[in-house]
């Protein structure tokens, strides 16, 4: 989804929203600190945030190469629906991100209709999503970003409930959780979630307190790095 960000006066923004028929969220910020944080030097300027809250791209939205757009799309949990009203049931499952059931339905239909291009394409899209999620989780594990790895394995279990892939993801998640190297990172990630939640509720003081605790208790973790960045941005270090 798109979120527009501007620090202009409310009246001006409201007029513009009406004139252009804007239907997506607009965040009105105060002053220029948020722009500066995001390295905005001119307009338009953009940043893409992945489902795990991480920035995956920053720059001029007019200048993104197609290959990169595809890479960015791969970070989403986006699966296209089937462009045919005969498959309402499967589309409903896809929209609900219940990909495990969607796959089961597709397999049933494919037994009778193996050559159906729409069905094979849909299956390919869902299989592709699973493959990407598992690749991302592996990469996160390799780089020591265990909190992210666990979050992705948890997503796979939700999206692919009832499948072998979900069972495998559960085992992989357990393996990461048992890895002694991941102990501090995961403990820090747990705390981090509390700080993030406080941020989500707009309670920045509480967030800062939680983040300070992480920096103190788990100084060598990736979470501590992120916590420190937050504290520096808010001038509370």
Partner 1 sequence: MKLIGLVLALTALVSAPPAVEVVKVGDIAPEIEGEWFLSETNTLGALRGRVVLLDFWRTW
Q: Note whether 181 and 144 are within 8 A (CB).
A: yes
Residue nearer to partner 1 on the CB measure, 25 or 162? 25
Q: Does 196 bind partner 1 (CB under 8 A)?
A: yes
Interface of this chain with partner 1, residues 1 to 40, rule: CB under 8 A: 1-8, 10, 12-17, 22-30, 33-40
Q: Restricting to residues 100-139, which ones interact with partner 1 according to CB under 8 A? A: none
Closest to 205 measured CA to CA, from 187, 231, 232: 231
* CA-closest candidate to residue 120, choices 109, 130, 131: 109
Question: Which residue lies nearer to partner 1 by CB, 27 or 95?
Answer: 27
CB burial string 92-117: b at 16+ within 10 A, e below = ebbeebbbbbbbebbeebeeeeeebe
* Closer residue to partner 1, CB minimum distance, 52 or 118: 52
Give the three-class secondary structure for 26. strand
Task: Using DSSP, state whether 27 is helix, strand or coil.
Answer: strand
Helices 183-200 and 146-159, interaxial angle, to 10°? 70
Residue 40 C-beta: closest distance to partner 1, Å? 5
Distance, in Å, from the CA atom of 235 to the CA atom of 237, rounded to the nearest integer, reads 6
In the complex with partner 1, which residue's Cβ is closer, 104 or 193? Answer: 193
Tell me the HSE value of 228 on the side-chain side, using a 13 A CA sphere.
Answer: 11
User: Which lies closer to partner 1 via its Cβ, residue 105 or residue 173?
Assistant: 173
Nearer to partner 1 by C-beta: 22 or 171? 22
State the number of binding residues for partner 1 (CB under 8 A): 67
In 3D, which of 119, 110, 106, 98 has the Cα closest to residue 162?
A: 98
Which of the residues 203 through 222 are near partner 1 (CB under 8 A)? 204
- Site string (40-79) toward partner 1, x via CB under 8 A: x--xxxxxxxxxxxxxxxx--x----------x--xxxx-
CB of 99 to partner 1, least distance (A): 15
Residues that bind partner 1 (CB under 8 A): 1-8, 10, 12-17, 22-30, 33-40, 43-58, 61, 72, 75-78, 196-197, 199-202, 204, 226, 229-230, 232-233, 235
């Amino acid at each position: 989804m798109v979120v527009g960000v501007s620090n202009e006066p409310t009246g001006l923004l409201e007029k513009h929203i009406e004139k252009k028929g804007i239907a997506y969220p607009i965040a009105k910020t105060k002053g220029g600190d948020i722009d500066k944080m995001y390295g905005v030097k001119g307009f338009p300027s953009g940043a893409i945030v992945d489902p795990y809250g991480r920035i995956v791209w920053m720059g001029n939205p007019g200048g993104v190469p197609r290959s990169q757009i595809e890479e960015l799309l791969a970070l989403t949990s986006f699966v296209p629906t089937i462009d045919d009203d005969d498959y309402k049931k499967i589309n409903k499952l896809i929209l609900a991100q219940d990909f495990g059931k969607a796959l089961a339905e597709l397999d049933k239909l494919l037994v009778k209709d193996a050559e159906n291009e729409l069905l094979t394409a849909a299956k390919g899209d869902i299989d592709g999503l699973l493959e990407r999620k598992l690749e991302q989780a592996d990469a996160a594990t390799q780089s020591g970003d265990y909190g992210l790895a666990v979050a992705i394995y948890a997503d796979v279990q939700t999206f692919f409930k009832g499948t072998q892939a979900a069972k495998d993801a559960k085992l992989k998640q357990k393996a990461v959780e048992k890895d002694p190297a991941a102990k501090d990172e995961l403990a820090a990630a747990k705390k981090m979630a509390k700080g993030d939640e406080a941020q989500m509720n707009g309670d920045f003081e509480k967030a800062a307190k939680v983040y300070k605790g992480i920096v103190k208790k788990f100084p060598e973790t990736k979470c501590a790095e992120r916590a420190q960045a937050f504290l520096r941005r808010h001038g509370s270090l």
